Chain A
Amino acid sequence: MSKEITGAQALMRALEAQGVQHMFGIPGGAILPAYDPLIESSIHHVLARHEQGAAHAADGYAQASGKVGVCMATSGPGATNLVTGLASSYMDSVPVVAVTGQVPRWLIGSDGFQETDATGITVPVTKHNWLVMDPGDIAQTIAEAFHIASTGRPGPVLVDIPKDVLQAKFPYHDASPVDLPGYQPKTKPNVRQIKEAARLILEAERPVIYAGGGIIAAGAGPTLQKLAELTGIHVVTTLMARGALPDDHPMCLGMPGMHGNYTAVTSMQRADLLIALGTRFDDRVTGKLPAFATQAKVIHADIDPAEIGKNRRADVPIVGDARLVIEELISALQAEFGKGATGDYGAWTRQLDEWRSRFPYRFTQPDDGMLKPQFVISRISDITGGNGIYVAGVGQHQMWASQFIRFQRPRTWINSGGLGAMGFGVPASMGAKVAMPDDEVWCIDGDGCFQMTCQELATMAVEKIPVKIGIMNNAHLGMVRQWQELFYTERYSQVEFGWDIPDYVKLAEAYGCVGLRCESPDEVDAVIEKARGVDDRPVVIDFRCDPRENCYPMVAAGTSNDDIILGPEFETDHETHGDTLYSQDPPEEDS
């Protein structure tokens, strides 16, 4: 006869059984019973200041570590405040389990205090969700929740538990092995499709590997590198795949898409074969879809069958885990090479190298002028050697961070790519640092984003989570300002925040953090080093940047990638100016 315990105790036991070490949350009425056995639990709970912060932190935790992130909140507003975070995790396929309290069973449907239909609200932004109406189902539901969140195409799930279910005593049983008849993700690719893919690869003259976030999720970075080196095919790493192949690797072309570099964008446009791995032909990558890579055949491998053919027809569709797909592809190609077959991409490689040397990312930092955010981010990247974990909010600073940080390994670039949730940076960097305490975590933030979730500075100061937050303070909602400049005839509407409110240094200090300010290029290195020297609390740096700086290259929304705008740096000859020209050196030739 098993011992009687409460639903809340069962919840904690079930979470511990899943190996949960950290969770992020805020207590409230309906979830109160769960917070009592938490006291005895081995799980470290980080007390967030806003549920959105808890949800983004769980996302950052999961992206940095590859483990499932967990957040917890009460019913009603607690649950609704999680929604933005869950939506971001859903768009970016990040494994998160959210646990919410619900009003007692007898109040459900009566518009009780703090009642919202949490499962109903989150159906479109979760992979699955549950309302647990029996304490005996808690352990099994948590086991299913972790299974669904972390397998197949990962994603967030939500478990909603009424207060009286958490309070009820019942004879506890451990969860039985998860068996879900309607959920059988296919991970092993079809052999025939792999052979067909290998054939196309050998036939191609201008192939490009289009690597997406699925590479990171599958832990397929090193396997991808092997494929690139074996075949001599260059790789573009999308916003969700930055770091999948190191930026210093000669086969890495960097980021494609709306603010991607010329070579990455144009290589896809001119390719005769796209090898799309763990990616979904997002509109930010393809630009105007009918004009995207019109000459290319497409090999599309993804673990989610629904992504294949959704936006672009695939000549070779492959359903499977990215790592397994690449491994099988490598074997198939090696077999072909063994028979004397070879791919010849020499002319194409020369073309790519020419583009890389002609059209790198460019910006100009005047020696005595205003700070350029690209300069600040480049310095952070250089000084940290690209070996930290870099988290961003959403907007210009996010794109510059993705452009100018030289990523060295997977899971070191964390952002809200699909949803584009401003305010993601601060709490996600908190989650990343909790997951990877030995890594240096930098949040590259904007002044707009920072103000949406900066309350989590309190959490980090209290919990001694020493994240470095560099605000690229351009006193504006910079990306919106850029669009108004370019597409609304410079009619600026509701985009100016101003430099001085809030005073970010004082605000940081008020939250128990270190606050620093940097206004000129010659101070940048010193202030970065100063921040790196602090390891007992967060540091906030107010980098006062040029508000007029625009993010280039740019493919305007709804236009073709052929119409990429390189920006003013390519319109005049900067060698005639006294200014220093900073540019990314083209990578060394593949030896």
Chain B
Amino acid sequence: MKHTVSILVENKPGVLMRVSSLFSRRGYNIHSLAVGTTEVPDVSRMTVVVDLPDKPLEHVTKQLHKLINVLKVIELEPTASVVRELMLIKVHAEPQTRSQVFELAEVFRANIVDVTTDSVTAEVSGPPEKIAAFEDLVRSYGIIELVKTGRIALGRGERGIKDRQLRAAV
């Protein structure tokens, strides 16, 4: 089962390695991992999607808490959080098919960010299902290459880690 976990870490060298090393040596399968700074300069936030076929998520969160540089770990339940992903996708688009790709992009509210004589690059963001749907639709034109950010997520409304808690953590 896939879980989305938000991890607040001290912004120090080697922290990403400590987290990824923990996942790998404990046999937790990382589906995606995104990391970036937060509104508090000393704190970074990781969003990890972890695939756990036969263990409760608690095993992972408890192990993460043992890392000295980890400040806070929360699970973001799908129903109580906003989950987004961004994809850049370059597809074959000859002049005769280009407009079809443009139309699809419009439906998905994707931005066309690069066009050449035989390719189009689209930027599409949204929930992971939407990204997957767009990818499926343009596959027939021929995908040249694509890249995804990995999921990022925030708890809805009162849920989540607020700035005050975050500052208190460091």
Contact = CB atoms under 8 A, between A and B. Distances in A.
Contacts of B58: 309
Contacts, number: 41
The 4 closest A-B pairs by CB, nearest first: A306-B62, A128-B68, A182-B71, A183-B68
Contacts of A131: 13-14
A310 interface: yes
B63 A306 contact: yes
Nearest to A155: B66
Interface string B1-32: 00000000110011001100100010000000
Interface string A163-186: 000000000000000001111000
Interface of A: 119-120, 123-124, 127-128, 131, 148, 180-183, 304-306, 309-310
16 contacts: A119-B14, A123-B18, A128-B67, A128-B68, A131-B13, A148-B68, A181-B10, A181-B169, A182-B69, A182-B70, A183-B68, A304-B66, A306-B59, A306-B63, A306-B66, A309-B56
B68 A182 contact: yes
Contact of A124 (B21, B65, B66): B21
Nearest to A133: B13
Contact of A306 (B13, B14, B65): B65
B170 interface: yes
Interface of B: 9-10, 13-14, 17-18, 21, 25, 56, 58-59, 62-63, 65-71, 169-170
Contacts of A180: 68
Contacts of A119: 14
Contacts of A128: 67-68
Contacts of B62: 305-306
Given A306-B63, A310-B59, A182 B10 contact: yes
A131 B17 CA distance: 14
Given A306-B63, A310-B59, A181 B14 contact: no
Contacts of A120: 14, 17
Contacts of B68: 127-128, 148, 180, 182-183
Contacts of A305: 62, 65
Contacts of A127: 66, 68
A119 B59 CA distance: 25
Given A119-B14, A131-B14, 7 more contacts: A120-B17, A124-B25, A128-B67, A306-B62, A306-B63, A306-B65, A306-B66
Contacts of B13: 131
A181 B71 contact: yes
A181 B65 contact: no
A304 B71 CA distance: 16
Contacts of A310: 59
A128 B22 CA distance: 12
A148 B68 CA distance: 9
A128 B17 CA distance: 13
B59 to A, nearest CB: 6
A339 to B, nearest CB: 35
Given A182-B69, A306-B65, A123 B17 contact: yes
A182 B59 contact: no
A182 B17 contact: no
A118 to B, nearest CB: 12
A127 B68 CA distance: 8
A558 to B, nearest CB: 18
A412 B99 CA distance: 80
B45 to A, nearest CB: 14
A304 B62 CA distance: 9
A310 B66 CA distance: 14
Nearest to B72: A182
A310 B27 CA distance: 13
A180 B21 CA distance: 21
A132 to B, nearest CB: 12
B21 A123 contact: yes
A111 B10 CA distance: 28
Nearest to B64: A306
Contacts of B67: 128, 182
A180 B10 CA distance: 10
A310 B70 CA distance: 20
Contacts of A123: 17-18, 21
Contacts of B14: 119-120, 131
A123 B67 CA distance: 10
Nearest to B62: A306
B168 to A, nearest CB: 8
Nearest to A128: B68
A180 B62 CA distance: 18
Nearest to A184: B65
Contacts of B9: 182
B106 to A, nearest CB: 46
Contacts of B169: 181-182
A464 to B, nearest CB: 40
Nearest to A119: B14
A181 B169 CA distance: 6
Contact of B170 (A181, A183, A309): A181
Nearest to A183: B68
Nearest to B25: A124
A201 to B, nearest CB: 26
B150 to A, nearest CB: 22
Contacts of B10: 181-182
A309 B68 CA distance: 21
Nearest to A120: B17
Nearest to B70: A182
Nearest to B43: A181
A180 B17 CA distance: 20
A176 to B, nearest CB: 16
A305 B13 CA distance: 26
A112 B61 CA distance: 38
A120 B169 CA distance: 26
Nearest to A313: B56
